[in-house]
DNA sequence: TAGAAACATAACGTGAACGTCATATTTTGA
DNA sequence: TCAAAATATGACGTTCACGTTATGTTTCTA
């Protein structure tokens, strides 16, 4: 199939397909000479796997580190272990961000109180 | 004074001064003809006020919305009220982000458990 | 009155994942 | 066979606050 069909079936834009090709996430479709690119069902499966991993919150770079395993490890264990490690890292990062935001929030609250206090002094009543 | 002194006393780079001028946060220093720009203590005070507001977490755009009040309202009440409104908005945004991150964290935890479960089934022992 | 120091201005780079033209070529359908 | 549809390729835009060259001009100092 050509890029139009591929993109439609994968529910992405043609731009996305080309972008993935440009960053090496997807092999460019084969072609004869300088004509159009032709893709197979394998490319479609790969695009769908990419989307699935994106929905888990992986970046394209992280997806690039695991995607090949999905198509080389027949047991499916290796890719899942790697994804698991990435998810655990994300969990740590999320918890760290939550902590930072909570810190930021309490600083904000303190500053708000300072301003409120000042304005109450300046404008009694 | 010229930009070198100004930047040094304000503890910013010359690039920062010029950037602020380019986005209208700072009036360009006066000059005669095509020579150098000359600044006064007022500019220095303005840069210090900008820095102070940055440390409260305001973006340059938000600072642009309040900075003039600091130099036109002698009571200082108006700018503080506006900053207070912005800080309250930041507080709401921070709380919202915390909520989203907590949601994200629990989704991550659920996914991690799924993966762990699968891997335990596949590789008993 | 040079050479040095300071300054002015322009322009690209940073990060992620594409969106959105613009232009040129290929393939298809009548 | 010729126009229309699809595709290929390139390049700029998006967010924020500047950092970092690069090149040319002005001011200062010995």
The predicted-structure confidence for A26-59, as pLDDT tens digits, reads as follows 999 998 888 999 999 999 999 999 999 999 999 9
Please indicate whether, in this complex, the C-beta atoms of B77 and A122 are within 8 angstroms of each other.
yes
Q: Is B38 helix (H, G, I), strand (E, B) or coil?
A: strand
Would the pLDDT of B70 be above 90? Answer: yes
Average pLDDT value for residue range A98-114: 95
CA distances from A45 to A9, A16, A83, B37, B84 (A): 10, 15, 18, 62, 52
The predicted-structure confidence for B85-118, as pLDDT tens digits, reads as follows 999 999 999 999 999 999 999 999 999 999 999 9
Q: What is the model's pTM?
A: 0.85
**B123 backbone φψ class: left, alpha, beta (φ>0; ψ -120 to 50):** beta
Structure tokens belonging to residue A50: 């990419």
Q: Is A109 on the interface with B (CB under 8 A)?
A: yes
Angstrom CA distances, A98 to A10, A102, A124, B99, stand at: 34, 6, 38, 9
Give the pLDDT of residue B22: 93
Nearest to A111 among B87, B111, B116 (CB): B87
Instruction: Confirm if A38 and A5 have CB atoms less than 8 A apart.
Output: no
Judge: B87–A57 Cβ closer than 8 Å, yes or no.
Answer: no
- Name the minimum distance, in Å, from the CA of A73 to any CA of chain B: 13
Q: Alpha-carbon distance A106 to A100, whole Å?
A: 10
């Amino acid at each position: 199939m050509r890029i139009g069909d591929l993109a439609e079936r994968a529910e992405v834009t043609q731009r996305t397909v080309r972008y993935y090709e440009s960053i090496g996430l997807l092999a460019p479709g084969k072609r004869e000479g300088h004509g159009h690119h032709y893709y197979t069902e394998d490319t479609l499966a790969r695009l769908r796997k990419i989307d699935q991993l994106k929905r888990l919150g992986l970046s394209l770079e992280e997806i690039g580190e695991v995607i090949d395993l999905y198509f080389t490890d027949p047991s499916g264990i290796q890719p899942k272990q790697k994804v698991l490690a990435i998810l655990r890292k994300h969990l740590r990062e999320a918890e760290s961000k939550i902590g930072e935001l909570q810190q930021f929030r309490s600083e904000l609250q303190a500053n708000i109180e300072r301003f409120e206090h000042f304005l109450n002094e300046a404008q009694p009543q």
